[in-house]
Structure 1
Amino acid sequence: MKPSVKAALWSGLVFPGLGHMLALRRPLRGCLFLLPTALGWAYLLGGLLPLVNTLSEQLVNGTLAPDPDQLAQRVAESGMGGAGPGVVLLVCTVCWIGSVVDSFLAGAAPRP
């Protein structure tokens, strides 16, 4: 299998930037995709997991009704329902797609 295909598969199926690091041996270029995506996921999971835990406990205890509108309002009040998470998801998606495309093109191009 060509290194470019191997790199694109690593970057597309596992995590962005891994194809650059493992198949192409270009760690700095891989970090351009890996770090923003990892930081974005850390931001999202750091904010969403405590919120989901709190809301699920309130649902089980009966202090929160299982109403989608009320749940959406609680998410919006927590700060995880605004534009921030959407922008972070957009950055992660662009990094993921960009990593696949760049690893395929970088692997196909001759190295200086």
Structure 2
Amino acid sequence: MKASIKAALISALLFPGLGHLVLRRGARGLLFIVPTLLAAGYLLRATLALVDTLITELNNGKLPLDPLLILERVHSSGIDNPATNGAALVCIVCWIGSVADALWLGRHR
């Protein structure tokens, strides 16, 4: 298997930018790894904060154990805001970009 194909598969299936390490392009791989880690960390923090709030409301009896009401509460929480949408977009762009860049690097070596 060509190194570029292996790098693209590693970036696609494991984590964006890791395939660049196979191509010995660590600094370039960090251009994909760091933003993805920061964006994923932000999304995880926002999600865990919402889950904590929901669990507290469920335990206190403020929110009944009804899936539709919980879903309504999630939508009204404001989790779907420009910051979370931007973080999700960063993850998607870095993932697709790292695969394309790994293929491009392998072909232009």
Task: State the one-letter code of the partner of 1:72.
Answer: H
Equivalent in the alignment of 2:42 = 43
Q: How many residues align?
A: 105
Q: How does 1:14-25 map to 2 (within 5 A)?
A: 14-21=14-21, 23-25=22-24
User: What is the CA distance between 1:42 and its match in structure 2?
Assistant: 0.6
* Cα root mean square deviation, aligned: 1.4
Equivalent in the alignment of 2:10 = 10
TM-score (norm 2): 0.87
Which ranges in structure 2 are unaligned for 5 or more consecutive residues?
none
Equivalent in the alignment of 1:72 = 75
Task: State the one-letter code of the partner of 2:7.
Answer: A
Equivalent in the alignment of 1:58 = 57
Equivalent in the alignment of 1:106 = 105
Which ranges in structure 1 are unaligned for 5 or more consecutive residues?
none
User: What is the CA distance between 1:20 and its match in structure 2?
Assistant: 0.2
Matches of 2:73 and 2:49 in 1, distance apart? 18
User: What is the CA distance between 1:60 and its match in structure 2?
Assistant: 4.2
Tell me, what secondary structure is at the counterpart of 2:10?
helix
1:20-52 Cα deviation digits (max 9, x unpaired): 01x101001001111100000011111211211
TM-score (norm 1): 0.85
Task: State the one-letter code of the partner of 2:72.
Answer: D
